[in-house]
């Protein structure tokens, strides 16, 4: 196997995917079957695991029993090798059958597929197909050598320790007002989450956390069952179609391409007028709310919006 040098093309930002209010976000750290250094990924724990890549690499494996029979065994082999290295790497296993929104947001072209994440960024080209156990061991050995060369010596904690820390933090941080909406998101009931957040906003329009949760839940609601490639093709075919452009902006948000989403709608606003302009502007304001008014990307987006309008 050819050694793959580390590169850092850009951080993975999936904070919009299934986002919960920041101060109340529950930490889910369910481990892979019997693994101290493997974890099954879902919307609930994806950002947590990506954050852990700031300490040591995360090897993310996308697998599917339906689309690629046998890929589950490959994921198990990767997890077994991560166990042998005792925290030098963390195996993060994504079942795309049960988490299609993650694969869609990260634009995974096929399964199985392996990505190595460090500091929140892919550090090798995605590796398509299933590797043999020997090839997995060789890949991990090469990665370990490169880490040592670069002076990176961090190790992941066993999942049991991470889970205990997460439970303690959750006990301190969870605000019961947001629990019904968070529980709805956790069980995949986006419509119920929208309804719960709407109740909070109606009761207190100044509740910025609830407003952000509502805006993000609405993005999830609008994009349920949408085919990413078909949506992008429709937007490319008609650049002035407000429905098509706002849909792709929502998908960009889910994929972590926040600035792309904002820029798409600002450009649309600059090209349109009357009802179309109003609809695009209101949609953009909703995306601003989902990200948060203090975010520098939102501040830049508001300046660009003002330029487009005036």
Burial of 225 (0-12, 13-18, 19+ CB in 10 A): exposed
Of residues 132 and 87, more confidence is placed in 132
Please give the pLDDT value at position 155. 84
Task: State the pLDDT at residue 131.
Answer: 93
Facing residues of 92 across strands? 39, 60
pLDDT, residue 165, reads 52
Alpha-carbon distance values, 112 to 9, 41, 115, 302 (Å): 22, 15, 10, 40
* CA 18/CA 38 separation, integer angstroms: 22
User: Of 44-58, 66-80, 258-272, which gets the smallest average pLDDT?
Assistant: 44-58
Taken in order of first residue, the domains within the chain and their CATH numbers are 22-166 (3.40.30.10), 175-309 (1.25.40)
Check pLDDT > 80 for residue 10: no
Query: Cβ atoms within 10 A of the Cβ of 63, count?
Result: 24
* Nearest of 267, 290, 288, 278 to residue 219 by alpha carbon: 290
What is the percent of the chain where pLDDT is above 70?
Answer: 84
Distance (Å, rounded) from C-alpha 223 to C-alpha 251?
A: 7
Q: Is residue 301's pLDDT more than 70?
A: yes
**12 pLDDT above the threshold of 50:** no
pLDDT bracket for residue 98 (50, 70, 90): very high
Q: Where are the beta strands (DSSP E) in the chain?
A: 38-40, 58-63, 90-95, 113-118, 121-122, 127-128
Residue 8: pLDDT over 70: no
The distance from CA 100 to its chain's CA centroid, rounded to whole angstroms, is 12
């Amino acid at each position: 196997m050819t050694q793959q040098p580390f590169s850092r093309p850009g951080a993975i930002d999936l904070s919009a995917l299934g986002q919960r209010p920041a101060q109340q976000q529950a930490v889910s750290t369910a481990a892979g079957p019997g693994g101290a250094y493997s974890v099954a990924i879902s919307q609930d724990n994806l950002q947590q695991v990506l954050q852990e890549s700031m300490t040591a690499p995360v090897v993310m494996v996308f697998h599917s029993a339906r689309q690629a029979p046998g890929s589950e065994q490959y994921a198990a082999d990767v997890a077994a090798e991560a166990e042998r290295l005792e925290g030098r790497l963390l195996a993060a296993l994504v079942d795309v059958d049960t988490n299609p929104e993650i694969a869609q947001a990260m634009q995974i072209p096929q399964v199985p597929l392996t990505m190595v994440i460090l500091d929140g960024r892919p550090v090798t080209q995605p590796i398509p197909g299933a590797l043999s156990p020997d090839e997995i061991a060789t890949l991990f050995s090469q990665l370990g050598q490169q880490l040592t060369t670069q002076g990176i010596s961090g190790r992941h904690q066993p999942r049991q320790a991470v889970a205990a820390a997460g439970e303690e933090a959750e006990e301190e941080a969870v605000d019961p007002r947001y629990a019904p909406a968070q529980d709805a998101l956790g069980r995949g009931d986006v419509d119920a989450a929208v309804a719960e957040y709407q109740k909070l906003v109606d009761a207190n329009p100044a509740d910025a956390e609830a407003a952000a949760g509502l805006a993000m839940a609405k993005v999830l609601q609008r994009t349920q069952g949408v085919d990413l490639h078909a949506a992008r093709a429709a937007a490319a075919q008609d650049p002035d179609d407000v429905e098509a452009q706002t849909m792709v902006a929502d998908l960009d948000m889910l994929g972590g391409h926040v600035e792309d989403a904002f820029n798409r709608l600002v450009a649309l606003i600059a090209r349109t007028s009357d009802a179309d302009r109003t609809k695009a502007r209101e949609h953009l304001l909703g995306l601003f709310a989902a990200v948060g008014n203090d975010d520098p990307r939102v501040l830049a987006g508001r300046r660009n919006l003002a330029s487009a309008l005036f």
